[in-house]
Structure 1
């Protein structure tokens, strides 16, 4: 219950912040490790350092599939509110291919960075003008989706003994938090808003990349507590840097 409610609360809070702060800053916030962070708290607590480091490296590699998820949603969002199916299919195909790569934090970085640049470039053609406005609808669906995100974290972390480190890491990186955020913004604020937000998230994913990279590299030399704390700091600093860049660009 703690795993479900803690994750759900974080996802719901970030989603509401995204709606209120606009696509650029909101997109940077949406990239925070809002699911990976709580999930790895329980992984690190319940498993050995070697298991957790391997899972973190697998998650980092799997974050490239998050870029496939984002471009899949962005490409279909203007045509259908069922864009989540295209995004999920893109993630599944990409994650399956990536699952064959031996987990390594350095390999994960080498794969992720070119993919991020390519997706960011390709996503420009789908941008649409929009006028910021008040979100429509109730919060009921958001709460339901947030609880679903919490259930995924609870299920994967509880089953991690059977899944093994690689598949636990891969499944933890499924963008369930972004699924909640994208579907909620799409439903409440429209296609143009969700496209702009998710395009900002393309860079925002640098936050969980920083988190998983630091965790994978430092777990064995520094131990669970210090490495997890430093990984959280790295993720937050990555997001803070992106927000600062967005604010500087907006005021220039």
Structure 2
């Protein structure tokens, strides 16, 4: 088998695996309502496979540096979500999603101009989430209507994440860890939720899913920081596992807190 054919087949396999993760997670988000959907949307189901594949091709130093670029991009994602949530209350998908995408691109373009440290990345996240979480709180509680699935849902979601993985894997060797870390954090799941759910159920219910993702996204940023430290100290495999464990533990904790709050509310009534 030629080297080029081997690369293409391996790339297709990576794209397929990543697409399967995103499609499965988005189905769960649709069927469980905005609260659970928001938590599922912030699991590393698109960035995770991208970083695993980067770790197969590059050393720990590359992954650690990529994580430093990914950390402030997480702040760009929460501002992207805020933009969509606010605009989706009254505007069309094109206006809401297009504006959110433009905000992400603008912030990402600024972020790529700097060499980031762990402290600076954490500070940017704290500031961003300190601003956005209170602003998103009023949009969280909306009843999720029944979602009717259409034939192009699976191909659209699969193609989005597969394209992202293909770009990350194919270009990482010449764009370097900084750009790879930025591309790997493009919010594929958020985009998929916007594009697919908004035309079906309307802006406010779709926005509620993203609004409920704010605290989970904060945990995702923490996981990126853990990944950087873990990769530096223990290597790529352990660092990635620690990041995954952080995400899952954080979201399970949020789920538990939400369950207890609901139980207390029912007892009070």
After TM superposition, the structure 1 stretch with the greater mean CA deviation from structure 2, 70-79 or 160-169, is 70-79
Shift of 1:40: 0.5
For the pair 1:57 / 2:68, whether they are aligned, the reply is: yes
Structure 2 counterpart of 1:98:
111
Report SS of the residue matched to 1:221: helix
Partner of residue 168, structure 1: 180
Unaligned runs of 5+ in 1: none
Cα deviation for residue 104 of structure 1 reads: 2.1
Task: Give, in angstroms, the shift of residue 48 of structure 1.
Answer: 1.5
Whether 2:45 is the aligned partner of 1:34: answer: yes
Shift of 1:179: 0.5
Q: Where in structure 2 are the equivalents of 1:145-184 lying within 5 Å?
A: 145-184=157-196
Residues 25 and 246 in structure 1, CA contact (< 8 A), matched pair in contact too: no
Q: How does 1:1-252 map to 2 (within 5 A)?
A: 1-78=12-89, 79-82=91-94, 83-124=96-137, 127=139, 130-252=142-264
Separation in structure 2 between the aligned mates of residue 87 and residue 135 of structure 1, nearest angstrom: 23
Measure, in 1, the Cα distance between the counterparts of 2:194 and 2:251: 18
Whether the 8 Å CA contact 2:39–2:216 is kept in 1: the answer is: yes
After alignment, is 152-161 or 141-150 more displaced? 141-150
Asked if 1 retains the 8 angstrom alpha-carbon contact of 2:72 and 2:111, the reply is yes
Q: What secondary structure does 2:43 align onto? A: coil
The residue matched to 2:38 in structure 1 has which SS? helix
Cα distance in 2 for partners of 1:240, 1:129 equals 20
CA separation in 1, counterparts of 2:142 and 2:47? 31
The 10-residue stretch of structure 1 (220-229 or 133-142) with the greater mean CA deviation from structure 2: 133-142
Q: How many residues align?
A: 251
User: More deviation in 145-154 or 51-60?
Assistant: 145-154
Structure 1 window deviating more from structure 2 (201-210 vs 73-82): it is 201-210
Displacement after TM superposition at 1:195 (Å)? 1.3
Alpha carbons 2:140, 2:211 under 8 Å: kept:
no
| CA RMSD after TM alignment | 1.7
Partners of 2:112 and 2:188 in 1: CA distance: 18
Cα deviation for residue 129 of structure 1 reads 6.7
**Bigger mean CA offset, 91-100 vs 205-214:** 205-214
Alignment partners' CA distance in 1, 2:81 and 2:180? 21
Distance in structure 2 (CA, Å) of the matches to 1:5 and 1:58: 26
Q: Deviations over 1:206-228 (max 9, x none)?
A: 24313211111111221122222
C-alpha displacement of 1:49: 1.1
Structure showing greater radius of gyration is 2
What TM-score does the superposition give when structure 2 sets the normalisation length?
A: 0.87
Q: Secondary structure at the match of 1:100?
A: coil
CA separation in 2, counterparts of 1:207 and 1:129? 21
Give the secondary-structure state (helix, strand or coil) at the position aligned to 1:22. helix
- 1:139 and 1:210 mapped to 2: Cα distance? 37
